[in-house]
Amino acid sequence: MATKAVSSPMIAGFPAMSAQRLLVFGGVALIAGGMIFGEIFAVFVLHQNGGKTGEALLAATKAVTAQNPEAVKQAFVSIGGLLEDRGTKVDTHVHMTDAGYLALLLALVQSSVALSAPRKRFLAKLFLLGGTLLPIGIFLIHYVGLAYSPFPVIGWASILADSAGALLIVVLTAEVWGLWRHFRGQPEAVASMSHVGTAAAGCPAERSSADPAPTWEERALLGGGTVLVLLGFLYGAWYAGKNLYEQEARERNILSFMLDAAVKTPDLSGQFVNSYGMLAAERAVQIAAHSHIIEFGLLAMLLSFVQRYVFLNAVWKRRWVVLLLLGSLILPVFVWLELKVGLVAGGIADVGGLLVVIALIGMLAGMLRYSGSVDALRGAQP
């Protein structure tokens, strides 16, 4: 992989251990970590958890038939545990990737945050700490439960997660305060706000003739990302209009039929439990398709801003971009097709997710090479 010379403005824009660099690296690492966690969850937990939930629900209907309220309660304790297990893992995945997105966003506006460099660095570290502890806290909720907790419904893991969330809010508030100071106190400096497509700091905000034209990779990621987000919103609107209320009514009916059957025609209970499971799966894949295509669209747009920090030759940079956009389309489309085509589609969706992870790691490697070369050049300068 050939490399290009690094220009001085770029060196100024990405100093070692700066807030920008911490947020860019930390953000991409959080996104990659969240996606890898999501892949592991999809392959090893999701379907198994759904199967166990179905079994527990069937046990509950059998207990209704046997007129055994205690067994019903036991079955629901089991269902509650399974749902919490699944829910906290989904939330871990979502919050880790979203914290990564926010870190990248903050990196983009760092040059317009009117705070001292050490303070910005401190805020960046706090943000990454919060972004790491929040998903860890959420993940532990299921395992820690209410052990040694002084509260009736909130356990220590929830306290950790909520504290980390509060930390993120504090950092975000401080960053907004810094932005406010920048725009209020230095109006003449507004024009010199970083143009994020050029560099995260030290480059003009408004496009001028001095700005280099957007590269193919930047345009592909920005345009492709916007189209992905648009597709996701159109699908979400279609889902809300066509499926949301229908599925809510169907869930109510299936549960009602399930209980009637458990009381009057026990042989039919299993069918309704299956219908309930199918509804849950239908709902899950439709929502996952909607949220993933939008998240990947946002990710593509965010990555368009850091392409100039990817220190690889044009061919490799294009490969990672194409791989990322391809995976971003494959995953949601095949997640959506999972109920129609079966587990093969699920496998293809997982491959799509893997393509995105590989592209992310490829870009991260390029950014590490960039920062290494910047540091080496800086060290060589008198």
Partner 1 sequence: MSRDRKVLIFGGLALAAFGMFYGLHYALFVEHQTLDQLGGSLATAFVSAAERKLPESRAALDRYAAIRYDYVRQVDVHSHWIGLAMLMIVFGAAFDRVAFSGSIKFWIALALTIGAIVFPLGVILQTVSHGSALASALAILGSGLVIMALAATALGFARQGAPGGA
Contacts of 320 (CB under 8 A, 6+ apart): 310, 312, 359, 362, 363, 366
Q: Using CB under 8 A, which of the segments 11-19, 185-193, 271-279, 319-327 binds partner 1?
A: 185-193
Q: Which of 294, 323, 356, 357 binds partner 1 (CB under 8 A)?
A: 294
191 binds partner 1 (CB under 8 A): yes
At closest approach, how far in Å is the CB of 365 from partner 1? Answer: 23
Determine the Cα angle at 335 with ends 366 and 143, to 5°.
80
At closest approach, how far in Å is the CB of 79 from partner 1? Answer: 8
Q: Provide the residue type at 256 as one letter.
A: S
At closest approach, how far in Å is the CB of 98 from partner 1? Answer: 7
At closest approach, how far in Å is the CB of 292 from partner 1? Answer: 12
At closest approach, how far in Å is the CB of 226 from partner 1? Answer: 4
Write the interaction track for partner 1 spanning residues 90-109; mark x where CB under 8 A is met and - where it is not: ----x---x--xx--x--xx
Residue 308 CA to residue 99 CA, distance in Å, equals 22
17 binds partner 1 (CB under 8 A): no
Write the interaction track for partner 1 spanning residues 346-375; mark x where CB under 8 A is met and - where it is not: ------------------------------
Residue 178 CA to residue 115 CA, distance in Å, equals 6
Which is closer to partner 1, CB of 53 or CB of 346? 53
Write the interaction track for partner 1 spanning residues 37-76; mark x where CB under 8 A is met and - where it is not: -----------------------xx-xx-xxxx-xxx-xx
301 binds partner 1 (CB under 8 A): yes
Q: Using CB under 8 A, which of the segments 47-55, 77-85, 118-126, 314-322 binds partner 1?
A: 77-85
Residue 297 CA to residue 248 CA, distance in Å, equals 28
For 42, half-sphere exposure in the C-beta direction (CA atoms, 13 angstrom radius) is: 25
Q: Angle of helix 69-109 relative to helix 47-65, nearest 10 degrees?
A: 150
Measuring CA to CA, how many Å separate 16 from each of 7, 25, 199, 376, 378?
15, 12, 15, 10, 9
Question: Under rule CB under 8 A, how many of the chain's residues touch partner 1?
Answer: 76
Could you tell me the sign of the dihedral formed by the alpha carbons of 39, 43, 45, 47, in that order?
positive
Q: Which of 165, 327, 346, 352 binds partner 1 (CB under 8 A)?
A: 165
Number of H helices, E strands in the chain: 11, 0
175 binds partner 1 (CB under 8 A): yes
Write the interaction track for partner 1 spanning residues 223-262; mark x where CB under 8 A is met and - where it is not: x--xx-xx--xx-xx--x-------x--xx--xx--x--x
**Of 202, 285, 217, 191, whose CA–CA distance to 247 is shortest?**
285
